């Protein structure tokens, strides 16, 4: 897996991702403490609102930003968004009103919504070989999991000797470090868009490609499976451990650590697995595993109550399924669009996947509070199984890259037909201006 780090450009980009993630992890801790200073016992409501603002920004801003990114130098755009995030983190320690937190979080998360899909769409251009790109995806998943484990530990260590405001300085340094590392390499230029079109056409292009591609419609269903399981873990672990099992705070970290550990185990194993199996054969069973584990836990909870060891076992397996279901996503996006359309498609995935979280986050919290944990486990466990049924229907088992199709509406002298030798031909098929619909019989 580490062989891809021999590529200097990717090595610097991966380092940029890591330092930005560490900064973001410190920000998460600092923001919680800031919310408590400003709102006291209402800090949970402040953080919940901030999280909702984050998700709304991700859903709405990413596609709009990508409508204009193709017209801007890629490296300059990434550096500029990092600098905006650093400026917001620098301002956060000085706020004294809750509404100021909301405004700054909206700006910061809007910058992140513009940065992340552009960054993700750059990696396939840096690592064009699928084998290398697969390993980069697993490294990225591993970086996210390590951040979830290590950033709280780093924050705790710093808080032993400094005030929480210093954590914001760590966030600023993380974003500035990311900007410097991006600036230190020459990135492949974005392929110029031959079409222009209006803002609406450019904003919705990624979404239209996404929804017209069968494998990506299946991915949309899997997004909901991942979000349902992730929301159950992230929202309700503290409730289960402390309110229901009456265990100490350290055990919350242990349970979440096992979930992250399972995710890391899957990320380490996936490159070899994906060398042998297609994405569909990995992602759909992994999504099904999420539902089976949650429903099994629900049955156990109804019969004998929630047990500590059962919780740990379930969270470990959920981490494995969570990572296996979503890590190959970049491979699907990479082969489902022409290079010039990748930023728009990555932005569409970014928005749609976070729309799923925007639904499942409050669902997990509301059900947990109103219906009890066994019912919550059952409902959130049913979502992945329904998603798997949808993915099996929408994403054909026979899903080749090269698809035979015909252009009955094109003039025989059209350059595309001259290049591909005839009205009926076969080539790697993606949705674009010449191929607006998937060939019949390939969807469902």
Tens digits of per-residue pLDDT, 132-147? 888 888 888 778 777 7
Regarding whether 223 and 172 lie in a shared domain, the answer is: no
State the pLDDT at residue 197: 58
Number of H helices and E strands in the chain, helices first, is 15, 2
Q: Within a domain: residue 258? A: yes
State the pLDDT at residue 37: 81
Structure tokens at 31: 């923001």
**Dihedral angle sign, alpha carbons of residues 146, 255, 376, 362:** negative
Q: Within a domain: residue 329? A: yes
Regarding whether 227 and 172 lie in a shared domain, the answer is: no
State the pLDDT at residue 84: 95
Q: Within a domain: residue 194? A: no
Q: Within a domain: residue 230? A: yes
Q: Within a domain: residue 407? A: no
> Which residue among 189, 212, 230 closes a domain?
189
Q: Within a domain: residue 105? A: yes
Instruction: Count how many Cα atoms sit within 13 Å of the Cα of residue 185 in the half-sphere of its side chain.
Output: 22
State the pLDDT at residue 422: 67
Range of the domain at 50: 1-189
Structure tokens at 120: 């993700």
Structure tokens at 406: 């015909």
> Which residue among 129, 155, 189 closes a domain?
189
Regarding whether 380 and 269 lie in a shared domain, the answer is: yes
d(CA 99, CA 237): 29
User: What's the predicted TM-score (pTM) here?
Assistant: 0.82
443: nearest Cα among 429, 424, 432, 433: 429
* Site of tokens 């949808």: 390
Question: What phi and psi, each to the nearest 5 degrees, are found at residue 199?
Answer: -60, -40
Residues in the chain: 444
Domain count, the chain: 2
State the pLDDT at residue 326: 92
Q: Within a domain: residue 195? A: no
Instruction: Give the angle 24-351-84 at the CA atoms, nearest 5°.
Output: 40
Regarding whether 374 and 299 lie in a shared domain, the answer is: yes
Q: Name residues whose C-beta falls within 8 Å of residue 20's C-beta, 6 or more positions apart in sequence.
A: 82, 174, 175, 177, 178
* Site of tokens 């329904």: 386
d(CA 237, CA 234): 6
* Site of tokens 């004998």: 304
CA dihedral angle for residue 111, residue 112, residue 115, residue 119, rounded to 10 degrees = 170
In this structure, the strands spanning 402-406 and 424-428 are antiparallel
Regarding whether 264 and 167 lie in a shared domain, the answer is: no
d(CA 27, CA 138): 24
CA dihedral angle for residue 395, residue 398, residue 401, residue 406, rounded to 10 degrees = -100
What CATH number is given to the structural domain containing 297?
1.20.1250.20
Regarding whether 132 and 18 lie in a shared domain, the answer is: yes
CA 66 vs. chain centroid, Å, equals: 16
State the pLDDT at residue 444: 37
> Which residue among 162, 189, 216 closes a domain?
189
Angle between helices 199-211 and 214-238 (to 10 degrees): 90
Regarding whether 420 and 299 lie in a shared domain, the answer is: yes
Question: What phi and psi, each to the nearest 5 degrees, are found at residue 405?
Answer: -160, 170
Q: Within a domain: residue 183? A: yes
Tens digits of per-residue pLDDT, 49-94? 777 788 888 888 877 777 666 667 888 989 999 999 999 999 999 9
Regarding whether 220 and 84 lie in a shared domain, the answer is: no
Structure tokens at 244: 């229901």
d(CA 324, CA 326): 6
Q: Are 233 and 381 in contact (CB under 8 A)?
A: no
Regarding whether 163 and 217 lie in a shared domain, the answer is: no
SS3 content of the chain, % helix, strand, coil (to 5): 80, 0, 20
How far is CA 154 from each of CA 17, 373, 387, rounded to the nearest angstrom? 17, 32, 37
pLDDT by 10s per residue, the chain, length 444 = 577 888 999 999 999 988 998 888 888 778 877 877 887 766 656 766 777 788 888 888 877 777 666 667 888 989 999 999 999 999 999 988 888 988 998 999 899 888 888 888 888 888 888 788 888 888 887 787 777 667 666 776 777 787 888 888 999 999 999 999 999 998 887 665 555 556 567 778 888 999 999 999 999 999 999 999 998 988 888 888 888 888 886 787 788 888 888 988 998 899 899 999 999 999 999 999 999 999 999 999 998 788 899 999 999 999 999 999 999 998 999 889 888 888 888 888 988 998 999 888 888 888 888 888 999 999 999 999 999 999 999 999 988 887 777 777 777 777 777 666 667 777 778 887 777 788 875 443
431: nearest Cα among 331, 360, 349, 345: 345
Regarding whether 230 and 167 lie in a shared domain, the answer is: no
Regarding whether 185 and 204 lie in a shared domain, the answer is: no
d(CA 430, CA 312): 43
State the pLDDT at residue 317: 96
Q: Are 325 and 226 in contact (CB under 8 A)?
A: yes
Regarding whether 185 and 207 lie in a shared domain, the answer is: no
């Amino acid at each position: 897996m580490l062989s891809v780090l021999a590529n200097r450009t990717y090595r610097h980009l991966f380092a940029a991702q890591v330092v930005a993630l560490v900064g973001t992890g410190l920000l998460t801790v600092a923001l919680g403490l800031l919310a408590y200073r400003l709102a006291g016992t209402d800090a949970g409501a402040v953080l919940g609102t901030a999280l909702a603002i984050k998700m709304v920004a991700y859903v709405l801003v990413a596609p709009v930003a990508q409508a204009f990114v193709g017209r801007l130098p890629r490296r300059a755009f990434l550096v500029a968004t990092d600098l905006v995030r650093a400026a917001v983190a620098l301002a956060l320690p000085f706020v004294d009103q809750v509404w100021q937190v909301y405004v700054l979080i909206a700006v910061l998360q809007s910058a992140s919504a513009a940065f992340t899909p552009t960054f993700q769409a750059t990696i396939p251009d840096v690592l064009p070989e699928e084998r290398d790109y697969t390993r980069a995806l697993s490294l990225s998943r591993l970086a996210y999991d390590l951040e979830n484990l290590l950033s709280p530990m780093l924050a705790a260590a710093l808080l032993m000797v400094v005030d929480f405001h210093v954590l914001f300085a760590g966030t600023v340094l993380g974003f500035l470090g990311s900007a410097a590392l991006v600036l230190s390499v020459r990135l492949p230029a974005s392929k110029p868009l031959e079409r222009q079109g209006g803002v609406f056409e450019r904003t919705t292009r990624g979404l239209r490609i996404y929804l017209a591609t069968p494998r990506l419609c299946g991915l949309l269903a899997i997004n909901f499976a991942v979000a349902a399981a992730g929301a159950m873990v992230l929202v309700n672990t503290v409730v289960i451990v402390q309110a229901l099992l009456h265990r100490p705070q350290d055990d919350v970290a242990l349970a979440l650590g096992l979930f992250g550990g399972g995710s890391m185990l899957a990320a380490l194993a996936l490159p070899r697995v994906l060398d042998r199996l297609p994405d569909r054969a990995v992602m759909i069973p992994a999504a099904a595993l999420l539902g089976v584990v949650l429903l099994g836990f629900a049955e156990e909870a109804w019969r004998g109550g929630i047990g500590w060891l059962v919780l740990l076992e379930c969270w470990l397996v959920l981490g494995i399924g969570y990572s296996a279901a979503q890590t190959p996503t970049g491979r699907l996006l990479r082969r489902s669009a022409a290079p010039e359309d990748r930023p728009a498609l990555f932005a569409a995935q970014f928005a749609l996947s976070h729309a799923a979280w925007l639904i499942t986050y409050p669902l997990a919290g509301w059900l947990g509070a109103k219906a009890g944990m066994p019912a919550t486990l059952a409902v959130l466990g049913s979502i992945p199984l329904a998603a798997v049924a949808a993915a099996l229907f929408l994403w054909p088992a026979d899903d080749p890259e090269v698809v035979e199709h015909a252009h009955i509406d094109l003039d025989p002298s059209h350059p595309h037909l001259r290049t591909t030798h005839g009205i009926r031909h076969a080539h790697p098929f993606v949705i674009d201006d010449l191929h607006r619909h998937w060939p019949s019989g390939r969807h469902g």
